[in-house]
Structure 1
């Protein structure tokens, strides 16, 4: 005679056979029937959990397996299956961007299996989606040490490195991804970004073009190609690529933003402004668009709106993110300055600091005691700027102050107009004793005394800035026809690596720069010149601030 136990075992065996052979509906029907007969049968609960995992219903799988473990806590297969169910559900949560739910499941899975490679991989992906790229890199590296070359993990690792500006590491990881899965176009696009950030522009261009060969509708790759072409000095080609994107995605704020910058490069500031206004209307929360709009408006002389939008730079300009390091509650926004101590602080390059310190005099006239926190190389020179009471080198202790304002916010809060910017008056002056020294040194120089600068500082850490530097700089040899003018005496004002171009040449160019320690020394030398000819660098701003005539070799 068949016992109840025998009948249960026979039904269970049949259900397992259906399950193993892929007849999931039949297996489920029998499992549920057995469960109704005995809700304390941990094996049936476990198998229902396995079936749910096979069907991708991981939340139900977790419930069934948890119930089995309530009955039999040391059920090893159930513990193993619970880890798989938790991991499966976490992956679904990650796909749906349900990060808190994913974290809860992965934390349970990690407690069960502390060094499981797949759990570590998912935790790395979670960290990446949360924006914690450093933790993502650590977790993914641990996982890949066990898994070896695994395409998804390497792709996420490459992205984590990319976001941390570890571009060489990103390139290495993404090349490994593409060796494993050449069809993974997202990795190809990310590899292009890693190459771009290293200044490998032609390799980046080829990478983006390859991605588009495989998928002509890959809008992000096309926008990245356009940006690369722009940086390579091919704005017309960049415009063509962006117009292709906009034909398919006419309301893409990103494409409109990029097109605005390209139109600006093409000298079409009005069209750039209109394009960027359209982009901003579509995505008013994006500070990068507002920042780019500000640049086009300032080029057009639309100062009121342009300087207001320029305030978006702290979030919209990649080089300034995180640079605002002063207390927000003391930020000056036009308040009465009578009897107040106002700290002005340098935020960008030498030339910007020199250019905007001109507003210190107006602030002093409003009753402020002006403290200027500036780059160490500018401290001595700017300590004598009109309106400045005290100049402090950046990094040194600051005296007490009531308000502070970054230098390049001053035009906005002061309501500056174009007339303010074009003031012909000198607002910086060389130290008399230093100027007298160089007057004596140059006394025997025949004809007009002309200072030359041919290259800006090279900023290789940023692809876009490096491209700007390359465009604004020339070679000294390009000035050779000018140097043949025997009615003038020429002097090098060049600093940095490009200064070496003047060494060991037969060109009639004298160089005293080894005697200059800072901008105060350079200013004293320029004070004795008749003319400065320079590319767009700090020397142009310095000479102008000293009231010297400047011929600017400007890029287009």
Structure 2
């Protein structure tokens, strides 16, 4: 036993536990200078590099430790965490399973493997692993918080709340439980209480990406824009496990965060914006291009394929393209979602009007001819949007039974604009509303030129927030938006209108009483509107 080596390791661990990373690294490095193959120092230095976000270096160091000691369970577990951080879940899973093959009672490996399943929305498998870990270690606070998240994602909010409180009773300052409890309140529409817990989580872990992102959503819903947009950058790290988007010109290089160079002078600068998130988000954020142009910027856009022809008609964009080959050598490359940050939006008065879109004349005539086969008024309808069981896509759905009741009470031709509707749902609508009153136009979602034309022609549109809602705003038409309690920041907190879409009427689900009042108001308003239009 080398006493000096042990003392250096102990000092390194003490500094490491105190998050004094520079000092800890110095001690670990001194050990490696004396013993190049010291397993503990290689492993701990790798863990430290992981905690600092230096994932490639962490990977190399922990792998070196495992070459020397292949069955080192702590190193295997931490190698799995590094693979997760590099967005390589299959490789992470192998490490956790290797630990469990050695010791099926490893509560840490059970927790880590359960976390992988939780992130993939395999909730039953995640719960089973977490419960096994909890039997082994009843006070394992991370597992308790994760069991709360499983219940949360399953919609059992009471059970989720109880787990989060149990975790916080064991560890009052535990960031994961604080953030999860804050997210629970956010999902219930209690934005102020959500902020308290999310902010507390960041007090104890300032770099907690999920909490930074949740704080952004809270601030943006409350209209605290300047700080909200800076925090909103965290969505990239949350989704892709790296600081920001990759540079399309150099696939392994990460672009700088816009917050590191904003505010900046865009006068004469060539700016390329990259599409990110959903189609609706592209349309939503592109409204800020005009502000960048007013500041002297020249803006090109790498668009999604489905929107490229529509956006190609915009006068405000120098170029619209869909592949990285055409990107050129601009001065600035950033996500379209950073436009509010880059143009220094700070208050409601800085909100631009929705992006104005031009409908292709030939498409308008073709879709008009199809609609004119049916009696007016034409009312579009969509009842769900987003991807269910996804960690990164907000899923929204309005109750179809209430929507059918609304449709049966309003004399109109109902135009189905729902993307990929379930056949059983369509059959229920046709059966209850009447085949002569329902027309399926769901196919237009495959060709957004057609969707844009139909949005321009409809007399009204009832929908949860989706791409067509943004298209409808783009052609200067109003919309009646069904807003679930768990909704995007752009619909704010509790008002009947949003500053982002001042011409839209909002009908909100109530967290306690549900949708009944919203649909009652919607039916009244829609009937009155049709009476006025027919007068």
TM-score, reference length from structure 2:
0.70
1:464 aligns with 2:391: yes
Matched length: 454
- Residue 265 of structure 1 deviates from its aligned partner by 1.7
- Residue 303 of structure 1 deviates from its aligned partner by 1.8
Per the alignment, residue 520 of structure 1 pairs with 449
Per the alignment, residue 191 of structure 2 pairs with 269
1:237 aligns with 2:167: no
Q: Residues 547 and 126 from structure 1, CA distance in 2 versus in 1: closer, same or farther, beyond 3 angstroms?
A: same
User: Relative contact order: is structure 1 or structure 2 higher (C-alpha 8 Å, sep ≥ 6)?
Assistant: 2
Gaps of 5+ in 1: 1-56, 63-87, 110-118
Separation (CA, whole Å) in 2 of partners of 1:453 and 1:269? 27
Per the alignment, residue 488 of structure 1 pairs with 412
Correspondence for 1:222 among 144, 166, 184: 144
CA contact (8 A) 1:264 1:296 kept: yes
- Residue 382 of structure 1 deviates from its aligned partner by 1.7
CA contact (8 A) 1:293 1:306 kept: yes
Aligned CA-pair RMSD: 4.2
Separation (CA, whole Å) in 2 of partners of 1:281 and 1:108? 38
TM-score, reference length from structure 1:
0.67
- More displaced, 195-204 or 279-288? 279-288
CA contact (8 A) 1:90 1:106 kept: no
Correspondence for 2:373 among 420, 426, 444: 444
Per the alignment, residue 124 of structure 2 pairs with 202
CA contact (8 A) 1:378 1:519 kept: yes
Separation (CA, whole Å) in 1 of partners of 2:83 and 2:274? 32
Q: Residues 532 and 473 from structure 1, CA distance in 2 versus in 1: closer, same or farther, beyond 3 angstroms?
A: same
- Residue 411 of structure 1 deviates from its aligned partner by 2.1
Q: Residues 480 and 494 from structure 1, CA distance in 2 versus in 1: closer, same or farther, beyond 3 angstroms?
A: same
Q: Secondary structure at the match of 2:391?
A: helix
CA contact (8 A) 1:140 1:157 kept: no
- Residue 432 of structure 1 deviates from its aligned partner by 2.6
Separation (CA, whole Å) in 1 of partners of 2:263 and 2:82? 42
- Residue 274 of structure 1 deviates from its aligned partner by 2.5
Q: How does 1:168-207 map to 2 (within 5 A)?
A: 174=96, 177-178=99-100, 181-207=103-129
Per the alignment, residue 415 of structure 1 pairs with 345
Q: Residues 366 and 323 from structure 1, CA distance in 2 versus in 1: closer, same or farther, beyond 3 angstroms?
A: closer
1:299 aligns with 2:221: yes
Separation (CA, whole Å) in 2 of partners of 1:169 and 1:404? 31
- Residue 272 of structure 1 deviates from its aligned partner by 1.8
- Residue 499 of structure 1 deviates from its aligned partner by 5.9
Q: Secondary structure at the match of 1:444?
A: coil
- Residue 344 of structure 1 deviates from its aligned partner by 2.9
Per the alignment, residue 300 of structure 2 pairs with 371
Correspondence for 1:542 among 432, 452, 471: 471
Separation (CA, whole Å) in 1 of partners of 2:445 and 2:137? 56
Q: Residues 459 and 125 from structure 1, CA distance in 2 versus in 1: closer, same or farther, beyond 3 angstroms?
A: farther
In our comparison, the structure showing a higher alpha carbon Rg is 1
Separation (CA, whole Å) in 2 of partners of 1:546 and 1:552? 16
- Residue 481 of structure 1 deviates from its aligned partner by 3.6
Q: Secondary structure at the match of 2:384?
A: coil
- More displaced, 439-448 or 327-336? 327-336
Per the alignment, residue 278 of structure 2 pairs with 349
1:278 aligns with 2:200: yes
Separation (CA, whole Å) in 2 of partners of 1:456 and 1:408? 20
Q: How does 1:313-392 map to 2 (within 5 A)?
A: 313-315=235-237, 321-325=243-247, 328=256, 333-385=262-314, 387-392=316-321
Encode CA deviations 1:427-459: one digit per residue, 9 max, x unaligned: 223223322221122112112212233333437
Separation (CA, whole Å) in 2 of partners of 1:363 and 1:259? 38
CA contact (8 A) 1:361 1:388 kept: no
Q: How does 1:27-66 map to 2 (within 5 A)?
A: 57-58=1-2
1:511 aligns with 2:449: no
- Residue 99 of structure 1 deviates from its aligned partner by 5.3
Per the alignment, residue 511 of structure 2 pairs with none
Separation (CA, whole Å) in 1 of partners of 2:417 and 2:82? 43
Q: Residues 177 and 290 from structure 1, CA distance in 2 versus in 1: closer, same or farther, beyond 3 angstroms?
A: closer
Separation (CA, whole Å) in 1 of partners of 2:235 and 2:446? 32
Separation (CA, whole Å) in 1 of partners of 2:401 and 2:454? 23
Q: Secondary structure at the match of 1:490?
A: strand
Q: Residues 232 and 136 from structure 1, CA distance in 2 versus in 1: closer, same or farther, beyond 3 angstroms?
A: farther
Separation (CA, whole Å) in 2 of partners of 1:92 and 1:524? 69
Gaps of 5+ in 2: 17-26, 51-55, 248-253, 486-535
Q: Residues 407 and 154 from structure 1, CA distance in 2 versus in 1: closer, same or farther, beyond 3 angstroms?
A: closer
Q: Residues 250 and 443 from structure 1, CA distance in 2 versus in 1: closer, same or farther, beyond 3 angstroms?
A: same
Q: Secondary structure at the match of 1:247?
A: helix
Per the alignment, residue 81 of structure 1 pairs with none
- Residue 278 of structure 1 deviates from its aligned partner by 3.0
